[in-house]
Amino acid sequence: MELLTMISSADVEGTPLSVAGFVAHRRYQSSLLFDGVFAPPRPGETVRLQRFRRDDGRIESWEEEQLRFDGEWVIREYDVASDTVYSLFVGEGGVFSVVWDRLFVVRFSWEVAVRQLALLFVMLFPVLVPIRLPYRHGIGTVAVASRSERR
């Protein structure tokens, strides 16, 4: 409960890779079906689902508790199940770290650009040149005729 008290007012949008960010993420994943939000839970906060039942011809509503964010919830979320990705990262023992580095954008070289333009021209050449389908020439051979050629 002390952990939830300390992180309940933390800015998780600015520091998503902190303990508060992890707990906020776990809260979001746990309460996703109930319109979960990405924020650290307050100690003792609950997620309730409104239910309805019939009682002597009347319909009455009641709330059913689905989740309670308390010390037991924190312990369950930090428990490492063996078949999760989280267990893979925990098993590595802190090898992973976030490093700020420059991002380099690789541009095409002129050779690649010219080659691509040449391939594009070869692909579009049949569309750009006005030719008719082949016809039978007088001696039985197939010839290509331009549109301007008339018989």
Report the helix count and the strand count for the chain, using DSSP H and E.
Answer: 5, 4
pLDDT computed for residue 134 by the predictor? 60
pLDDT computed for residue 19 by the predictor? 81
Rounded CA separation 55/30 (Å): 32
Q: What is the mean pLDDT of residues 62-87?
A: 80
Rounded CA separation 105/112 (Å): 16
pLDDT computed for residue 115 by the predictor? 92
pTM for the model stands at: 0.49
For 99, the 3-state DSSP assignment is: coil
Question: Which structure tokens are listed for 68?
Answer: 């309670």
Binned at pLDDT 50, 70 and 90, residue 126 comes out as confident
Q: What are the sequence ranges of the domains in the chain?
A: 2-50+60-92
Question: Which structure tokens are listed for 109?
Answer: 């070289």
CA-nearest of 59, 77, 60 to 68 is: 77
Q: What percent of the chain has pLDDT over 90?
A: 9
Amino acid at 87: S
